Amino acid sequence: MIIDGKQVAAQVRAEVAAAVKELEARGRTPGLTVVRVGDDPASAVYVRGKRKACEEVGIRSVEHHLPATTSQAELLALVRQLNADPSVDGILVQLPLPKGLDESEILDAIDPGKDVDGFHPLNVGALCLGKPAPRPCTPHGVMRLLAEAGCDPKGKRALVIGRSHIVGKPMALMLLEKHATVTIAHSRTADLAAEVARADIVVAAIGKAEMIRGEWVKPGAVVIDVGMNRKPDGKLCGDVEYAAAAERAAAITPVPGGVGPMTIAMLLVNTVELARTRT
């Protein structure tokens, strides 16, 4: 089974559009503000995608594009201004920030009640404690894909490969919350092949093209590929060797068209949820 992220994302967007209509009927249009600093080309593409998705479901989207020379104090001042602006429901500071800016201090300054990414320490702590809070969009989207694929993590061995703050760590916590037995593997893991071989669910988020070999995958496992890499021939590929893994897996996400479309869809979900909470 191929897990079609485009299709699930379209379904999520339709749900969000209906929720936006309901809020609008109460005179409350949800608003997302994206802050982009500098001219990282990948960030420009991502932010354009986020804004387009907002427009499609009726979320008001505003972008603040600041030059790469912006100082820490200037960026902090903007975040504080957005915190105080009642028309702003969600604030997203696109990462990575240009060199010289302290990412952690900026994320800490965002009002936790407007933190659509769920990156604020208070929201990370809430996730850790199993309390309601905005969930980081990519792992949140992965959980929805697992549900759509009919995969209940309860009692399963789940392997998360990668320990980033954006994907790996929150992913592990969300799988744990759903009662999986969770292992986190990373660049220093001694025998990755052996870890993959015993996993019922594999979530690959290491950012290395086709590093997870298909022959490692346990027959019948569910494989979720968060990777988005470019091969020397220019083609996009994931962290998993797709064709070989697909022969063994019960279900697998393609790249592109798997996790990618879900990240933006869950950003919309989080924005509407924050607007509802603030209403």
Which residues have a catalytic role annotated? 50, 94, 117
Provide the residue type at 246 as one letter.
Answer: A
Residue 8 or 110 with smaller CB distance to ligand GUN: 110
Number of residues that bind ligand GUN (CB under 6 A): 8
What is the distance in angstroms between the CA of the first residue and the CA of the last residue of the chain?
41
Least distance (Å) between residue 213 CB and ligand GUN: 26
Least distance (Å) between residue 217 CB and ligand GUN: 26
CB of 47 closer than 8 Å to CB of 34: yes
Q: Is 164 annotated as a binding residue?
A: yes
CA distances from 166 to 8, 66, 243 (A): 21, 23, 27
Q: Is 163 annotated as a binding residue?
A: yes
Task: Look up residue 135 and give its DSSP letter.
Answer: P
Q: Is 166 in the site for ligand GUN (CB under 6 A)?
A: yes
CA distances from 143 to 125, 177, 238 (A): 19, 11, 18
How far is the C-alpha of 134 from the C-alpha of 118, rounded, in Å?
Answer: 5
Residues 81-100 that bind ligand GUN (CB under 6 A): 92-95
CA distances from 137 to 8, 133, 225 (A): 14, 12, 15
Least distance (Å) between residue 137 CB and ligand GUN: 5
Residue 92 or 172 with smaller CB distance to ligand GUN: 92
Residue 138 or 271 with smaller CB distance to ligand GUN: 138
Least distance (Å) between residue 94 CB and ligand GUN: 5
- Going residue by residue from 205 to 244, which x/- string records binding to ligand GUN, judged by CB under 6 A? ----------------------------------------
Sheet harboring 90-93: ordered strands across? 60-66, 31-37, 90-93
Residues 117-136 that bind ligand GUN (CB under 6 A): 117
Residue 189 or 229 with smaller CB distance to ligand GUN: 229
Provide the residue type at 38 as one letter.
Answer: G
CA neighbor of 117 nearest in space, from 133, 101, 137? 137
Annotated binding site for NADP(+): 162-164
Catalog residues that contact ligand GUN under the rule CB under 6 A: 92-95, 117, 137-138, 166
